[in-house]
Structure 1
Amino acid sequence: MNQETGRGAGALADGPERGGFRLAAYAVCVEDGRVLLVHHASGCWTLPGGRVEHAEDPFDAVVREVSEETGCDAVVERLLGVDSRVIPASEAHAGIAHQNVGVFYGVRITGGVLRPEPNGETVGSVWTPFPEVASLRRSSLVDVGLALARSLPVTGHVAPVPVAGLVEH
């Protein structure tokens, strides 16, 4: 408990004093020169993945998120790396600065059929050939995930990915 505010540490991290914080796990599924992308209701393409729930392991979260968003079963093959970025208030969708820590895993699809997320924000998913990815309105997470998958940095840390063209936070 924070003695100054009377709130727990988690509340302080999410409060307006510091902005928001999000821990998420993302799947980089690469097969035959294609990557599995999900289409968000906002119109942006991104990687399957999302928020790690309280007391949930990111390893388990990424498998759950792939299943929820795509209808497919998945197994984690390796940790690719971690991306930590602070989105300034001026660039954030909600107008509040926040930090996103993303844990990226190399994942293999083992079964299931691609479908939209029932009652969710993912309206579809598709295997996308690498050359076509650059022409999509996509989340910067796609570029981070693909950079990690290509380089497999020993430290697991990816250099900041510039946001330009069709790439969004």
Structure 2
Amino acid sequence: MSFRLAAYGVCVRDGRVLLARYVSPVGAGSWWTLPGGKVEHGEDPFDAVLRELGEETGLTGVVEELLGVDSRVIPASEARLGVVHQNVGVFYGVRVTGGVVRPEANGETAEAVWTPIGEIAGLDRSAVVDVGVGLATQRPASGHLPPVVVGGLIRH
């Protein structure tokens, strides 16, 4: 089994959420996700989410709150590497404080856009979008939501 710890920023402003368009380096297409990604060895997820926000979008921000944690196990038949994979995502509410939106330099994020929350359901997206927006809008006291069902426009 492979494992990944990731930190995601849920940036909400005026009924819109900041999304990043991920482009697969192996030619598997593109889809929308939240700014964020892998926590490096020895890195605090709190620091990783702000680093990833800057790398992927050109924006700076401050963490305002911990929204919750999501853990999902992806079957080998659906995982990118063909082995069972567990992804643990730490979701933070982040307020953007500056910068200029731009694509990731030499990276896999082609663009970042402020998207009305009501339009998310029609986007080809990662399940982390639904988890993050759900945590930000529903505010479960436990910091946990039921699993997001993958299929249709929602992918791992």
TM-score range, shorter chain: over 0.9
Match of 2:27 in 1: none
State the shift of 1:132 in Å.
Answer: 1.6
Q: Report sequence identity in percent.
A: 68
Instruction: Report Cα offsets for 1:68-114 as digits up to 9, x if no partner.
Output: 00000010000000001100101112211110000000000000000
Aligned length: 151
Instruction: Report Cα offsets for 1:4-33 as digits up to 9, x if no partner.
Output: xxxxxxxxxxxxxxx100000000000001
Please, what is the CA RMSD of the aligned residues? Answer: 0.8
Match of 1:72 in 2: 59
Matched, 1:29 2:11: yes
Match of 1:58 in 2: 45
1:108 to 92, 95, 106: 95
- State the SS of the aligned residue for 1:26: strand
Q: Whole-Å Cα distance in 1 between the matches of residues 44 and 113 of structure 2?
A: 26
AA matched with 2:92: Y
1:44 to 11, 24, 31: 31
Q: Whole-Å Cα distance in 2 between the matches of residues 162 and 150 of structure 1?
A: 18
AA matched with 1:114: V
AA matched with 2:95: R
Matched, 1:160 2:142: no
State the shift of 1:65 in Å.
Answer: 0.3
State the shift of 1:154 in Å.
Answer: 1.4
State the shift of 1:164 in Å.
Answer: 2.8
Larger strand share, 1 or 2: 2
Instruction: Report Cα offsets for 1:40-67 as digits up to 9, x if no partner.
Output: 1131100000000111100000000000
Output the TM-score relative to the length of structure 2: 0.94
Q: Whole-Å Cα distance in 1 between the matches of residues 151 and 42 of structure 2?
A: 35
Matched, 1:95 2:77: no
Query: Relative contact order, CA 8 A, sep 6+: which one is greater?
Result: 2
- State the SS of the aligned residue for 1:62: helix
AA matched with 2:12: V
Gaps of 5+ in 2: 25-29
Gaps of 5+ in 1: 1-18
